[in-house]
Amino acid sequence: MCHQGGQTPTGRCHPAHQCSWNPFAGSDSSCVPCAPCQQLSGGASPVCDFPAFYFPVENIESVVEVHPLRAVSLRAFTLCFWSRAQPSGTQTILSYSTGDSAHELLVTVGTELGLCLGGHWVSFPLQHQQQQWLHHCVTWVSPSGTASLWLNGAPGGARSVQRGYITQPGGTLLLGKDRDTLLGTFSNGFVGWLAQVNLWSRVLSAAEIRALALCRAGQLHGDVVAWGQTPMALLGGVLLEPDSSCQ
């Protein structure tokens, strides 16, 4: 196992107005504020900015439950996200666990970016200050076992892990906490802001990753987790704040 310990989350909803496109519909533990719409050039339809998730430092129970768009049975993946973390050691961005594997897929940030896949761990040094908005992409492909990090659109190294592996479906996907399925607890909580979290079942190209980091128009959305579209439940005091990652 990569991590253990923690607390069990409780639900709490931040007061806000509801939007008609609310991906949290049906959850009693979350609300979405109506973010301002921006008119796109060329006569395209306006789009609404989806808020960032804020995990308060004083609340160790904050976690987001994610209901993926498809089974998390992956032979390859790309996980991209913006984060602005407070200094608090190793912090979990995404955790996917099954009954047989507490750490089927785990991504953490801190002084390094950690990737745990099927219980096997690799890490990449992080030289940037986490207190600023940083764009991360982590890719992995099963046939070669190659895992790569991209930081702010630039390559950040490659490692080898779990060659020939396929992640197992039917698990629990979380943002901001690491779940220990044996103990039924949560640990290594994220503290700060998290935005634009997308998970694909393929490896994005270098050009696609750079476009995401540069906040270019027509942003891609994941086919496993799509930011602003995938149903999620905010628990334990996670707040919604304007997304300033691309400003």
pLDDT given for residue 95 in this prediction:
96
Q: Specify the range with the lowest mean pLDDT, choosing from 2-11, 41-50, 72-81, 165-174.
A: 2-11
Q: Is residue 197 part of a domain?
A: yes
Which domain covers residue 131, as residue numbers? 60-229
- pTM across the whole model: 0.81
The proportion of the chain whose per-residue pLDDT surpasses 90, expressed as a percent, equals 63
Q: Is residue 143 part of a domain?
A: yes
Which CATH number is 134's domain given? 2.60.120.200
pLDDT given for residue 79 in this prediction:
99
pLDDT given for residue 91 in this prediction:
92
Q: Is residue 44 part of a domain?
A: no
Residue 38 has pLDDT above 90, yes or no: no
54-101 tens-digit pLDDT: 999 867 789 999 999 999 999 999 999 999 998 778 899 999 999 889
CB atoms inside a 10 Å sphere around CB 198: 23
Q: Is residue 19 part of a domain?
A: no
Rounded to 5°, the CA angle 59-195-191 comes to 25
Residues 200, 77: contact at Cβ < 8 Å?
yes
